[in-house]
Chain A
Amino acid sequence: MPGIALSQFENNLSLDPNTLIFLVTLPLVITIISFAKYIMGVKSFGIYVPVILTFMFYQFSRIDSGNVSVWQGLKYGLFITLIVFISSYISYKLVQPLTLHYYSKLAIVTTNVTISLLVVLFILDLIDRGGILRVDIFSLILLASISERFTNLLASKQTSTALMLSLQTILLGMICFLVISSQTVQNTFLNYPWIILLSFPVNYFIGRFTGLRLSELYRFRELLQKDSES
């Protein structure tokens, strides 16, 4: 069905082409995340947070010419993400010993994250005019919601576990971003959008997979190293 290639419509649509790209590659992103979880055993904060991170990296990678700069996306995306994580971590550790209601602690953490972001964005704007201005309200709200999830994790799990999960989530977001910012992938999805339909059989297969995850081959290595029994 090459006849309905979206790239032909691109110029006639009032849609932002990047929005279109993000929309058509979204099933791919989600499939990668589910593959990473069920086949490789990557642990992330649900499916939602890595998608937000992917989207945010992508937002930052857009430069004025309408093209995409992978380096810029990684640089700013990672930077802002780290600011959010570090500021939530520090603020949570500060409010943790206080006897406060949980939502109140959360509100204080989010306030701190907002202040940190404001300060950082302001400084960045002074240094590098124009580069970071792609940050829109939407990305910032999403970032704040990541902060909430992260704080939640810190409150209910051990710090080391929360950090490991965060690291894997960020890596996963980066990998998804690298995949969808590839020119080849974008062209393929714009020219052959029916590829999206492959998501159904692929995810059905992943969804029926009952073998050990890659991470479990490592976790249970001692058991697997035993001499084979009957």
Chain B
Amino acid sequence: MSYLDYWKNRKQVLGINERNLSYISEYNTNKAKKIADDKVLTKTVLNKAEIPTPKLITIIHNQKELRELDFSSLPNSFVLKPVTGLEGGGIEIFYNRDKQNNWIRGDKSKVSPDELYHHCIDILNGRFSIHQDPDSILIEERVKIHHEFKYYSYKGTPDIRVIVFNNIPIMSYIRLATKESAGKANLAMGAVGVGIDLAKGRTTTAIHGKSGYIEYVPGTKLRLSGLRIPYWSKMLQYAVEAQKATNLKFAAVDFLLDRDLGPLIVELNARPGLSIQLANDDGLRWRLKKATGLKVKDVEKGVRLGKDMFGGEIEEGIESIAGKDLIGIYETVTFYGKDEKSTATIAKVDTGADSTSIDKEIARKLGFKDIVDLVESGILPEGVTREEGIRISEKLMKELPQKYPDIHTVDFIKSSHGNSVRVTVKLNIKIQDTTFETKASIFDRSKLTYNAIIGRKSLTKFLIDPSKIR
């Protein structure tokens, strides 16, 4: 690394001057910017193009409407924001309401109806708007945090940003709220920004506020890299569609991921910030140059181009050689049982175990109620000697499958908890994007840390990286 490299590398990175002159002024028309700057207009345009956004509750345009609004008619949980607000200023998120009609924030602090009324007046007076111009207030439903992010984000829902240019996704990152950022996904306040690999939708490198690179979620041992973003391809598709709908040629599309509704666009930004480059440990400039002038006929083509040109740097090496997906020690696993029943849980990938085993409660959810009843009846002995165990399992194998057609085998199992006889069923498992059939034993794991472990026989399609905690 020489000073010459340092000087050359500046050609990879996008600065504010170039962003303003060569991209925002050059590509974003005033009409398009107007849509992005007005959250209500954004919502209208996107909904017309059938792109999902959080559900609107009401809009307050002026003091008269504010006076007429019956605050008690609002739901217990909602989000209130200035329509033309900047950098998340003035946004309030309420989770609940107490008996005195105070609304409760994520950090348990309370806001009385009177305080809220004054806050609304401040917004209407333009305290948070772009040029202190009079503003309106948008009230919409609160997005419920997705399971995948539960342990990663402090209080607030993480916010996923995709920068699109010329109908091609260019770069993306996810902002996780921290205690320091008071549950807000704002980097300047100390939130964490994590780069996302465009091809795989997995997190890569991370920065904490403006202070530098970090590896773990602050205060935990949770690794920030390798987190899989659900609905990834769908999100890229919506981002490009939003660009087409609003005609913003260079834009940041911000998503929240709802537990039930999936990705929702909360905001479009015609002047994307540049920290995303630090979170991804890569410059925007070369990517934008590469995407300039390409003919992108449809949304699918744009998404594919973005994935191919700018994604797939991590782990791809090993995976492409071995043809196997790389997984960590703890993975979210989905089980598919009878009658299309399914359930997901965090399972331990246990190479010390021969086969997969699931808790009886999981089996019950998957429709194996009769087998769970059988397990609970105590017919399957525990703490037996080897000879005895094998004898009993062979005997039961002859009897049980006739009565219970779902039973695949009756096995004698030697484990750290002692010898036991267990019944197994056949079911489908999904780890990451791979779904396969395997057999799993059912027993009472309620006293154990994990309600499912994935054993060696179910792991032939994967490579395991023990350093990858989650």
Query: Which residues of A are at the interface with B, using a C-beta cutoff of 8 A?
Result: 38, 41, 99-103, 152, 155-156, 158, 161, 208-213, 216-217, 219-220, 222-229
Contact call B1/A223, Cβ cutoff below 8 A = no
Contact call B10/A228, Cβ cutoff below 8 A = no
In chain B, what residue has the closest Cβ to A98? B118
Give Cα A201 to B313, complex, Å: 45
Contact call B127/A156, Cβ cutoff below 8 A = yes
Give Cα A216 to B20, complex, Å: 14
Q: Which residues of A contact B128 (CB under 8 A)?
A: 156
Task: Give chain B nearest CB distance to A157 CB in angstroms.
Answer: 8
Give Cα A216 to B4, complex, Å: 17
Contact call A216/B16, Cβ cutoff below 8 A = yes
Give Cα A227 to B2, complex, Å: 9
Q: Which residues of A contact B21 (CB under 8 A)?
A: 208, 210
Give Cα A107 to B6, complex, Å: 50
Check: B98 CB closer than 8 A to any chain A CB.
Answer: no
Per-position 1/0 for B220-237, Cβ under 8 A of A = 000000000000000000
Give Cα A12 to B16, complex, Å: 48
Q: Which residues of A contact B118 (CB under 8 A)?
A: 99-101
Check: B323 CB closer than 8 A to any chain A CB.
Answer: no
Give Cα A217 to B8, complex, Å: 12
Task: Give chain B nearest CB distance to A90 CB in angstroms.
Answer: 20
Contact call B15/A216, Cβ cutoff below 8 A = yes
Q: Which residues of B contact A103 (CB under 8 A)?
A: 125
Check: B132 CB closer than 8 A to any chain A CB.
Answer: yes
Contact call A223/B15, Cβ cutoff below 8 A = no
Contact call A211/B188, Cβ cutoff below 8 A = no
Instruction: Please name 8 further chain A to chain B contacts, defined as beta carbons within 8 Å, in addition to the given A100-B118, A158-B188, A222-B212, sorted by A numbering.
Output: A102-B125, A103-B125, A152-B132, A161-B188, A210-B22, A217-B10, A222-B213, A226-B5
Contact call A223/B278, Cβ cutoff below 8 A = yes
Contact call A212/B10, Cβ cutoff below 8 A = yes
Check: B114 CB closer than 8 A to any chain A CB.
Answer: yes
Task: Give chain A nearest CB distance to B258 CB in angstroms.
Answer: 29
Check: B189 CB closer than 8 A to any chain A CB.
Answer: yes
Give Cα A224 to B212, complex, Å: 14
Contact call B9/A224, Cβ cutoff below 8 A = yes
Give Cα A226 to B10, complex, Å: 10
Q: Which residues of B contact A99 (CB under 8 A)?
A: 114-115, 118
